[in-house]
Structure 1
Amino acid sequence: MRVDVAQICSLDDRIVYFTCAVGSSFARWMGSGPVGVGQFHVEIEIPEEVAEWSVDASRQASVSTVDEVDVLVTGEVVRLGEDGDPVVEVRLGTDILLVEMARTQRELVVNEFISFRVTEIQLYPYEV
């Protein structure tokens, strides 16, 4: 996904504020080089298990900051894990996120849009 890093919020913790085609939020920069402002191609990762989610009737992929702490992600379920695998593929714009989902709620449905909150997302830059 192409993102615009608009602000470096914490050099020590490598926290940046970014915008992209589906919204904007804070994230942890995971690149090996120095953190910088500008346009980058990144892979977005969710580093924690998602315990709760809800069906989103808007059917619009998005990422946004909630309560200045959490990140709200809305995307389309495109593939479910098989044989007890908790990893689910969720489409966010043109990209696919691999999300580990707790099996505590009802089963997910392919092509359904879901929303979930996480405490952090991570950006891994790569060269095109």
Structure 2
Amino acid sequence: MEIEILRIIDRESSTVHFHCKAGEAWGVWQGDSEANLGTHHIEIDVPNPPQSFKTHASVIPLVAGDPWNQNSGVTISGKLESLGEDSIACILVDQDIVMVELTPGNEEPRVGTGIECHVTAIHLYPLNL
């Protein structure tokens, strides 16, 4: 996923404010070097299962979180591309796949439907293209 880092929120925790085609949010930079402003190609990792998720007939691809309040979490939504036996969901967000571990719940998501997940944080891993 291509992102643009707009602001370094906290250098010590490597928390950044970024923008991408699917929205604007905050995340924790996981690169070997410090995060810097500008365009980067990254992979999003969700370190913990979502606090909640909902399925919809369709959904707008979205990565959103209030960069001024990191306690608010991040919303990820897109099309459910696959769901493994290990509860790993592959969600298509715009043109990129984000993998999320879903915890068993009342709702069993179906491949091909829209899914919206609310997570406590996302990690951003830079890719060397």
Query: TM-score, structure 1 length as denominator?
Result: 0.92
Matches within 5 A, 1:109-124: 109-124=110-125
* RMSD (Å), alpha carbons: 1.5
- Farther off after superposition, 29-38 or 65-74: 65-74
Tell me the residue number matched to 1:54. 54
* Structure 1 segment 37-52 matched on structure 2, within 5 A: 37-52=37-52
2:80 maps to amino acid: V
1:97 paired residue number = 98
Percent identical: 28
The alignment status of 1:70 with 2:73, answered yes or no, reads: yes
Unaligned runs of 5+ in 1: none
One-letter amino acid of the structure 2 residue matched with residue 114 of structure 1: I
Code of the aligned partner of 1:73: I
In 1, Cα distance between the equivalents of 2:19 and 2:59? 20
Unaligned runs of 5+ in 2: none
Cα pair distance change 1:58/1:111, threshold 3 Å: closer
Runs (4+) of structure 1 exceeding 4 A deviation are: none
TM-score by length of 2: 0.91
Count of aligned pairs = 126
